[in-house]
């Protein structure tokens, strides 16, 4: 079963007039990871698609998606799949890739249909591509590991970079995830924007009663969206993206846009935030 939604881009002047429900309608993504379903959110910010596939006892196949206007989903797109569940398989291009929890498979443009099977809970990311990069499995041991923060600042964390120029080649997708030490709750503070790329977060590995207050908006017009486990949020290029949780958590970050320079950020001084 395929379920698709489209989210349209809006400007910051409009965004600052929205109430809580309107903000959530534009930027918050819930209802992911339904058994027996592929769910895709087509964002007009850099044409990023995010979504999920949970095959359960069967097999789910992602092939034609009307919103892309192409014969097959990956005809002019690249794709990354992160497994946040049990052991599962991704089948594409005549090859079977077995993913343990926390592993990623990158799938290059033109690979054809993609099938999902097993106990995996698959988080899907896709962006337009201009060339074919090699399809490959990226294990946890392959990821670039960056340790940051401190317990004293409540932001001790490790950033695991999977789609990164030093790890795996891609056209424009950058992705990985950030894990927080017990007792650390703040992500991406001091905050930043990057007008050349959009970003999306998936918050996961949280108990049912835990929440993250995701901060978004222009630096002088911040708003928050309350996030639960396995919920995603779309961050426009003009928006900060940060957050604080009621406990530790993990979040997958993904970017698409003009470059693949992870460090291309426009930092926001703390005194500038409102």
Q: Residues comprising the binding site for Zn(2+)?
A: 192, 194, 199, 241
CB distance 184 to 149 below 8 Å: yes
**Which residues are annotated binding-site positions?**
192, 194, 199, 241
Rounded to an integer, what distance in angstroms lies between the CA atom of residue 79 and that of residue 63?
12
Nearby residues of 234 by Cβ (< 8 Å), 6 or more positions away: 7, 26, 27, 29, 41, 43, 45, 48, 50, 198, 200
Structure tokens given for 270: 């703390």
Rounded to an integer, what distance in angstroms lies between the CA atom of residue 253 and that of residue 73?
22
CA distances from 147 to 144, 150, 181 (A): 10, 9, 11
Is residue 35 classed exposed, middle or buried when 0-12, 13-18 and 19+ CB atoms within 10 A define those classes? exposed
CB distance 216 to 200 below 8 Å: no
Q: Quick one: three-class SS letters along 121-169? A: CEEEEEEECCCCCCCEEECHHHCEEEEECCCCCCCCEEEEEEECCCCCC
CA distances from 108 to 99, 127, 130 (A): 17, 11, 10
CB distance 157 to 181 below 8 Å: yes
Bond before 190 cis per omega within 30 degrees: yes
């Amino acid at each position: 079963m395929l379920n698709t939604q489209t989210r349209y881009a809006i400007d910051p002047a409009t965004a600052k007039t929205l109430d809580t429900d309107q903000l959530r309608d534009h930027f918050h993504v819930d209802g992911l990871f339904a058994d027996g379903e592929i769910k895709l959110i087509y964002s007009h910010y850099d044409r990023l698609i995010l979504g999920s596939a949970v095959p359960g006892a069967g097999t789910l196949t992602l092939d034609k998606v009307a919103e892309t206007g192409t014969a097959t989903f990956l005809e002019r797109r690249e794709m990354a799949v992160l497994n946040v569940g049990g052991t599962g398989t991704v089948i594409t291009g005549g090859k079977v890739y077995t993913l343990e929890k926390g592993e990623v498979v990158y799938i290059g443009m033109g690979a054809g249909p993609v099938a999902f099977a097993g106990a995996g809970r698959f988080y899907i990311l896709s962006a337009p591509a201009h060339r074919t990069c090699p399809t490959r499995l990226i294990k946890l041991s392959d990821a670039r590991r960056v340790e940051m923060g401190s317990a004293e600042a409540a932001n001790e964390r490790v950033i695991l970079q999977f789609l990164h120029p030093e790890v795996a080649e891609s056209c424009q997708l950058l992705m990985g995830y950030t894990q927080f030490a017990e007792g650390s709750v703040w992500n991406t503070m001091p905050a930043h924007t990057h007008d050349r790329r959009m970003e999306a977060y998936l918050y996961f590995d949280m108990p049912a009663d835990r929440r993250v207050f995701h901060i978004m908006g222009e630096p002088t017009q911040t708003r928050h969206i309350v996030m639960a486990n396995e919920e995603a949020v779309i961050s426009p290029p003009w928006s900060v993206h940060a957050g604080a949780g009621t406990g530790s958590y993990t979040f997958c970050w993904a970017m698409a846009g003009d470059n693949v320079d992870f460090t291309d950020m426009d930092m926001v001084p703390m005194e500038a935030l409102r």
